[in-house]
Amino acid sequence: MSDSDQRWQDSIAGQVVVVTGGGGVIGRAICEAFGRAGALVAVADLNEALLAATVTSMSQAGGRALGVQVDVTERASVEQMAARVERELGPVDLLVNNAGVLGAIGPIWEVDPDEWWKVWEVNVRGVMLCARAVLPSMVARRRGRIITMSSGTVLGPQKAFSAYPTSKTAVTRLTEHLALDTRDHGISVFAITPGLVDTPLARQTFESLEGLKWIPQYKELYAERQVPPEIAAQRCVALATGQTDRLSGCYIQLADDLDELTRRADEIEADGLYTLRIRGETATPTTPRVARP
């Protein structure tokens, strides 16, 4: 183990980490990475079988894990999850908002509006509820971190694929709001992209009749550009060390070099880089927009 790896492990050991969607492919990789680093991991998922498999895998590897069934769209379920984690593992040091769904493929006028909104309930409401549940303790202790899975789809519109990209755009902006709200309380908040990870959910979505009809390019993209889930897991561990806290509020992609971004933290903050912005002559958020005659 290198000196840098040892320092990382020393800074992670003993942290209480909650990973929503911890039973899925990406979530399991994140849980296992923190388990190897000595964190106390709460594997939170709606699917009991998947979360149990992750807990078993971690336990067999010598890690400490707690499985908690949770529906991130339900306030009571999320609050019960947070209370149980604090009771059995301790106050939460890191929340990883990884639970998410795709769904609702097709032009707006053809998709089921309830299916479209379900994506927002999981991807946006779920993030808000989970953050809201752990933040009071973090604020009181003046320390803590939140990492939310965003997506490369926030960078531009996708034809016949609106629910997922717009929901991920919303949580990316929510990350900025959370970072601003918590700036004076010692808390850091990040939005990251996991890349094109081949998961059963992605395969089911993009190989469905709607997926093959409206967005056939995604099946090829996933086949050509698969990213191992362990890369996103390593990114989460790196952010949890605290070495990149000055990047709080940023949208960070896998291709971004965290060390380089940290060195540029002053420039990034001054110029509003790695954040969502509408560029234009009148696009100044602190100035009221007045229609010109």
Average pLDDT score over residue span 54-63: 92
Global pTM reads 0.92
Report the run of H or E that residue 187 belongs to, with start and end.
Answer: strand 187-192
In this prediction, residue 278 carries a pLDDT of 86
Phi and psi at 252, nearest 5°, equal -120, 125
Residue type, 282: T
pLDDT tens per residue, range 239-288: 999 999 999 999 999 999 999 999 999 999 999 999 998 877 665 655 54
**DSSP codes, 247-293:** GTT-EE-TTS-HHHHHHTHHHHHHHTTTS----STT--TTS------
**DSSP codes, 140-156:** HHT-EEEEEE--GGGGS
Which band of pLDDT confidence, cut at 50, 70 and 90, is reported for residue 2? low
In this prediction, residue 6 carries a pLDDT of 58
Which residues are tagged catalytic?
150, 164, 168
* Cα–Cα distance measured from residue 36 to residue 61, given in angstroms and rounded to the nearest whole number: 8
Report the run of H or E that residue 31 belongs to, with start and end.
Answer: helix 25-36
* Domain range 3-271, CATH architecture: 3-Layer(aba) Sandwich (3.40)
pLDDT tens per residue, range 26-47: 999 999 999 999 999 999 999 9
| Of 150, 154, 146, 144, residue with least CA distance to 130 | 146
In this prediction, residue 21 carries a pLDDT of 97
Within 10 A of 29 (CB to CB), how many other CB atoms are there? Answer: 24
User: Residues of the chain with pLDDT > 90: what percent?
Assistant: 76
Spell out a b/e string for 156-188, using b for 16 or more CB atoms within 10 Å of the CB, else e: eebebbbbbbbbbbbbbbbbbebbeebeeeebb
